[in-house]
Structure 1
């Protein structure tokens, strides 16, 4: 997903040159890792943190060097600038830090919510972000999934070392101060800054309705409070009870303290309400004075935050938290083992795997959760921040393989949102937002169902999916459903009324009409597979018929998917009606019916020729999701060697590097990284809910994936080299695979997937 609505296309000549580390498979077998490290030691959380893209007009990765356990509710990170929708809390190019942040911002184009930050300082007290910021140098920065540290320049001669350890809902900060008569820790409990206003961020309603709160407790040596802010509130429903609660405890006795609101400092004050406010404590230090701070967060209550703290950080042992979180990451990352590659390749691979283990985030707190869909507290397991338009394609299918124990919980969470709010979400943050298009929760639930997961009510699951597919949203024919429009009601499949009536979404009635028509068909196909399995034959036939609606927006005269008006005529603006792209971006988008697309476009040769032009003429967008399956479409039209060639090209330095400018385009909550993992392993889930993977070409000589029930999938690439990028033959447990497809049923039981590599494309 790309934040800007209008995109500039890639100019390959602008790509950064070879000074950056290559991640291709050149001479991998000869240049192997020499030192023994754990998988977690190869992760570089700074990859993708630059806002700078690979070329002019392209986005950076939108990641952050957060410290926390996998899928944590709260991420702990150095904040280099005031975040908002469209601006991450950490950007590599920034030169200053304004605080250490407990954040819930999942990615650059979504908002933070319920956040709180702490900033160390010496000298005169300065509380506002632009006044309290301290400079730093990246050479004084260490970033690991389980530990972060940075030296902040306190004055011309001295530094404050700031360290982060993180768990799930709680974290620890450790500050090492220079000698100072006046040292401070500044807490910011809410930050509604109207100067940050832009087209995507309207602060006026929040300034009128919201007030954060802090309380200084000198008896319990802590500061407590809550933050009701949701930066994406303008594109979601009101939540009267929403609050991000926090407890901040110190191992240094609070003696001097106060609160602040905007630029007004109130020394000795213990309580503060406001829209841009916080608290502070002050003390004297000698050289190397250490102050430890424990931060507990909750969306349920202060008492729950205290319970979370007792569970996750029962003492003041910073190093123990670091070790426990490191062990957790190592346990999750070693699920995939790789051999025969360089240290640089391992860094890119395991950082990508790390990025796939962050979202959707856990939202339940030891058996209970706050629901942002009915504004109440419930018992059970919950996840949130699903980037569904992106992640239904590769992330969720990958989690079925790498995190099977979480899949049922993630599905149940979507169904709980349906029960509590009336619909499954499009992009919860943490409640409904009408960002992007279609109801791809359908694809996530259906894919899990088809692959055998049943740890949820299948009756409820089908009810939720059926509503998405058959029921138009309120006011459907009166609304245009523009992306990021101010909230009026849930969008679901905007334009569904005409999609059913006309067989397509008309461009003169609903925005992003062509993309909607294609993507609604994908979800119809997915729901149809569950209908078939449940014996709902009439629904199955209707859904499968609707899944063919993409054909109604194919203009055979131009050879492209194109916008149509409600009267059936083609629009005079052929590049209108698309989501983050053009006709080239979406013409091959009907992943649910690749044979049907091929027939529609004149057969295999005609299809392959047009698809080749998509790549050779520079139309292909590796940095955005709609085309993530395009490379694999050559398998369906007699050119598997082209798939193999393009896999090698696109997992290489053009898209993935061991550098802050290291992911071509937004990582989108792990989707781009999941594409890389699948493509490196040698297969990809082109069609959700089909139970099939399209064979590509492995990029490492040896990969072993630990599956559920103790099964293991071993992937071998014999004779792999820089030249040998093509597949001569592929077998599974010794049996030849000839149709370039392998089933989930086969893979899930484990076995050996072996590729014989060659330098000669197999064109016969």
Structure 2
């Protein structure tokens, strides 16, 4: 990172130069340091950064690969729906390495997360022979011909000589396709994962309908309307012809498998050894919230199903497999579906021509690593319709795999398509489209969204090299994508009770990740929005009974603690209170005291935790990290209780915040599994984490990372180690031996722990190295999952020079600012300024500091100092000043003395 200057302003709006973006193509393979005149932050952004696997140094479990999991989406900040090029039918729509584009997907995939897509709709233009499936119709493209900005994407589809351009707002999208001369031009629309409902209105040049859910947005135990994503697509050109591709009939599935299925269940993830349970099932249609069978663990299990398909007629049969986590399907011992990796609930399909009255063997292999457990299997036999029947179905509306329209085009003729989306109804989708894009001016919409982004991004201004600006502004943009606002005219579809209800709603909170720095960053940059987000979490509580852990858009059982507690407490103690505080506190207490019922699980093992002081390993998987995270959440509840004057609750929960110590093993000085009777598990027991089932190094990696998750009581952790010097030695060994991974949320805060033990210069050096070594402006520029803004917010804070190691505490740890100067124009009208004199790539050490002109020796800064407006000024140098920094660290986050 080179020396730079930045300014953060909530009021500054940059001069926009119309057309600049549309004439500049950013090739990620080159560093454009020659570009010197840029008029707005958005010009620096390339949304393809991180779309390729990280190729640099990485310490990662074999269970997770260092991939950004991001895509070049287009839409407004915090938009309900984005649109992205689709290179694959997998959940994440775009991978840099892929050579073909299958279409342009209206997507709800949470950017950067290993979650499932829900309610997608893909649209693909083409000429010549009509091709329906994504694989058949896919066209080659060149990255050099792409422009990938938050408000605009364009590419040339080489196989069809069509230029595709995309822009979007919050709930509507605008696509523009420039065709060659052709008597056979087409557009195909489908749901890339399953089927949808499509209705063609040729008089109005419209298609309307909805796509069913293929992800984790299902009922989760409520009774109500099933999830659907509705749309209305308006075309600028009349249709010469149109057709739908009827949906196969899977209702006959049981008849195709007269003997049912034999299932074998294993208490491991790889189908090894002898099965613990064997049983027969007539159909495979399961969503397990507890154990799938007596004698099988509720998580960390695998299953194998075997059956025989007896065909009734010749033709194309389609197999559907929905699974939460990994699945493989074999047809006559041939592997035809291979999705053997951790993921959210997703439907895979496979179609093949089979002969009549023959028997085919079917084998399904499945593993569940944690969270939800879903396995559903279906097979649809061939279905035939006459052209007249298909045409009638299209105009009346029908369930179908796809719909397509055809027309003639002249050379360079632009065909435009506007798509409105809604989670409420088709009528609401039409209303959203008409209110957001009530014209046919593509450039106008692109400019409107560009302006919205520049208003958001201009809260931070940096003066730096082109490379640093690309990294910084792309990271900042990713911090303003999620959670997504799904409020529609004051109402929202509730994925928690299946109803359309009044009130605001945000979803895709990756709370296990984003409580750490994404939400604290939003407190500084978007305080009013944070208040509304908390209101949305409380609406979720009203509608489903719980604050969700990872809504996407409904409940899921992803991850361990209930970190909505941290998000609310952190916001409250930092002055954000525009919501029902009593209800928020009530919901937090429910998380901490009440066992969940039904499919959703808040804190698994909470009753045992309250009784024993820890979550027992013999009853619950990943018990150590559950205990550690529960204790941290209890700390946050204690801070909230103290702030609202509930002293008795504070006293109770501040004691519970120390329960993390019950999982620290005095023998190994690491976390360790513990049984209900108090006995310790084997020191190498991999149940420490769902990620620790790889090599010995993987296992040790997670033992050492999880041990450091006591951000609320660093002094207590140091005392356990044997004193501050022992914790410092632990950290030295930890970083020297590559146990730290910048993208591993368990220990994202750990580089700043040196501040607490009297060695802040080690934090300063380490942070600058991590920033320089792990973030690039290239396709592989992210060292791990973006996780809905968490990775980028870690970078933003680190580059600015301070970090919220313990949300729920009103303090930030000081690192080493990578910028010469910065100022934050706060919403209250005051200004916080950071100055780093003599700053450079080599001068990473703080020599001295002043706050408002007075000597400042603390290695942390209080939130009030920022909000009151002040100037924090550093003198930087090439060697550490070991006398600078408060040796006691931040007492706000040290319960133990």
The answer to whether TM tops 0.5 is yes
Task: Give the equivalent residue in structure 2 for 1:307.
Answer: 431
Change (3 A) 1:234 1:453: closer
RMSD of Structure 2 on Structure 1 (CA): 2.0
The unaligned stretches of length 5 or more in structure 2 are 7-32, 248-315, 317-383, 693-701, 884-897
1:569 and 2:689 are equivalent in the alignment: no
Deviation per CA, 1:28-52: give whole Å up to 9, x if none: 9xx9984243111111101111245
Q: CA offsets per residue over residues 578-601 of structure 1, 9 Å max, x none?
A: 254511111111111111111121
**Partner deviation per Cα, 1:226-280 (whole Å, 9 max, x = no partner):** 1121412579446633211000000001231111136879563425877761211
Partner of residue 517, structure 2 = 394
2:169 to 167, 170, 175: 167
Alpha-carbon shift at residue 735 of structure 1 (Å): 2.5
For 1:274 and 1:55, locate their aligned partners in 2 and report how far apart those are by CA, in whole Å.
51
Tell me, yes or no, if the aligned pair for 2:199 and 2:398 is still in contact at 8 Å.
no
**Number of the residue aligned with 1:447:** 570
Structure whose CA Rg is larger: 2
Query: Are the equivalent residues in 2 in contact too, given 1:24–1:648 (CA < 8 A)?
Result: no
Contact 1:605 1:637 in 2 (8 A): yes
Deviations 1:75-103 (A, max 9, x none): 1111111023xxx1111111111111111
- More displaced stretch, 385-394 vs 56-65: 56-65
In 2, the alpha carbon distance for the partners of 1:369 and 1:607 equals 49
Alignment of 1:415-564 (within 5 A): 415-474=538-597, 489-564=599-674
Q: CA offset at residue 736 of structure 1?
A: 2.7
Partner of 2:862: 743
Pick from 47, 53, 60 the counterpart of residue 67 of structure 2. Answer: 60
Distance 2:854 2:686 in 1: 46
Distance 1:347 1:295, change over 3 A: same
- Cα offset for 1:655? 1.2
Q: What residue is the counterpart of 2:797 in the other structure?
A: 678
Q: Which stretch has the larger CA shift, 276-285 or 509-518?
A: 276-285
Select 1:586's aligned residue among 700, 706, 718.
706
Aligned-pair CA distance for 1:763: 1.6
Q: Judging changes above 3 Å, is the alpha-carbon distance between structure 1 residues 47 and 514 closer, same or farther for their aligned structure 2 residues?
A: same
Q: Which residue of structure 1 aligns with residue 199 of structure 2?
A: 215
Within the alignment, does 1:98 sit opposite 2:102 as a pair? Answer: yes
Please identify which structure carries the higher strand content. 2
Which range moved further: 351-360 or 570-579?
Answer: 570-579
- The match for 2:190 is 188
2:375 maps to none
Q: Distance in 2 between matches of 1:215 and 1:114?
A: 17
Which residue of 1 is the match for residue 475 of structure 2? 352
* Partner residue in 1 for 2:763: 643
Shift of 1:753: 1.8
Matching of residue 280 in structure 1 with residue 404 in structure 2: yes
Residue equivalent to 1:478: none
- SS of structure 1 residue aligned to 2:774: coil
Within 5 Å, give how 1:674-753 maps onto structure 2.
674-753=793-872
Paired residues, number: 701
Mean alpha-carbon deviation: is it higher for 253-262 or for 617-626? 253-262
**Deviation of the 1:53 alpha carbon:** 5.2
Post-superposition Cα deviations, 1:58-90, rounded to whole Å, max 9, x if no partner, equal 321111111101000001111111023xxx111
CA positional deviation for 1:385: 0.4
Q: More displaced, 363-372 or 62-71?
A: 363-372
2:114 to 105, 109, 114: 109
- Between the aligned partners of 2:5 and 2:488, the Cα distance in structure 1 is 48
Map of 2:209 onto structure 1 = 225
- Rounded to whole Å, the distance in 1 between the matches of 2:174 and 2:573 is 42
Deviation at 1:224, TM superposition (A): 0.1
Structure 2 CA distance for partners of 1:503 and 1:27, relative to 1, 3 Å: closer
Q: Which residue of 2 aligns with 1:77?
A: 84
> Residues 234 and 328 (structure 1 numbering): CA distance in 2 closer, same or farther, change over 3 Å?
closer
In the other structure, the counterpart of 1:596 is: 716
The runs of 5 or more residues in structure 1 that have no matched partner are 1-22, 193-210, 475-487
Question: Paired residue for 1:208?
Answer: none
Deviations 1:384-418, CA, capped at 9 Å, x for gaps = 10000000000000000011120110000001100
Output one character per residue of 1:398-455: Cα deviation in whole Å (capped at 9) or x when no partner: 0000111201100000011001000000100100001111100000011111111111
1:254 to 239, 249, 254: 239
Any idea what the Cα deviations from partners look like across 1:681-728, whole Å, max 9, x if unmatched? Answer: 111111111111111110011222222122222211100012210011
Shift of residue 576, structure 1, vs aligned partner: 2.7
Secondary structure in 2 aligned to 1:754? strand
Q: 1:234 to 1:558 in 2, by over 3 A?
A: farther
Q: Give yes or no for contact 1:43–1:144 (8 Å, CA) kept in 2.
A: yes
1:27·1:721 contact (CA, 8 Å) conserved in 2? no
2:132 matched residue in structure 1: 127
- Shifted more, 131-140 versus 608-617: the winner is 131-140
Q: In the alignment, which residue of structure 2 is the partner of 1:405?
A: 528
SS in 1 for 2:97: coil
Deviations 1:530-560 (A, max 9, x none): 1112222221111111110111111111111
Distance change (3 Å), C-alpha of 1:542 and 1:98 = same
In structure 2, the CA distance between the partners of 1:685 and 1:69, relative to structure 1 (3 Å rule), is same
Select 1:150's aligned residue among 152, 155, 176. Answer: 155
Cα distance in structure 2, aligned partners of 1:574 and 1:692: 36
Distance (Å, rounded) in 2 between the aligned partners of 1:282 and 1:423: 48
| Greater CA drift, 637-646 or 704-713 | 704-713
Q: Is the 8 A contact 2:560 2:626 kept in 1?
A: yes
Q: Does structure 1 residue 321 correspond to structure 2 residue 445?
A: yes
- What TM-score does the superposition give when structure 2 sets the normalisation length? 0.76
Q: 1:273, 1:373 → 2: CA distance? A: 28
Q: Return the alpha-carbon distance in structure 1 between the equivalents of residues 874 and 489 of structure 2.
A: 45
Q: Does the CA-based 8 Å contact 1:26-1:722 persist in structure 2?
A: no
Alpha-carbon distance in 2 for matches of 1:53, 1:387: 25
Of 70-79 and 36-45, the range deviating more from structure 2: 36-45
Secondary structure of the residue that 1:520 maps to in structure 2? Answer: helix
1:590 counterpart SS class: coil
**Cα distance in structure 1, aligned partners of 2:577 and 2:52:** 40
1:165–1:322 contact (8 Å) kept in structure 2 = yes
Q: For the Cα contact (< 8 Å) 2:849–2:856, is it kept in 1? A: yes
TM-score (norm 1): 0.89
Whether the 8 Å contact between 2:134 and 2:192 is mirrored in structure 1 is no
CA distance in 1, matches of 2:443, 2:4: 39
| 1:183-204, Cα deviation, whole Å (9 max, x unpaired) | 1000114632xxxxxxxxxxxx
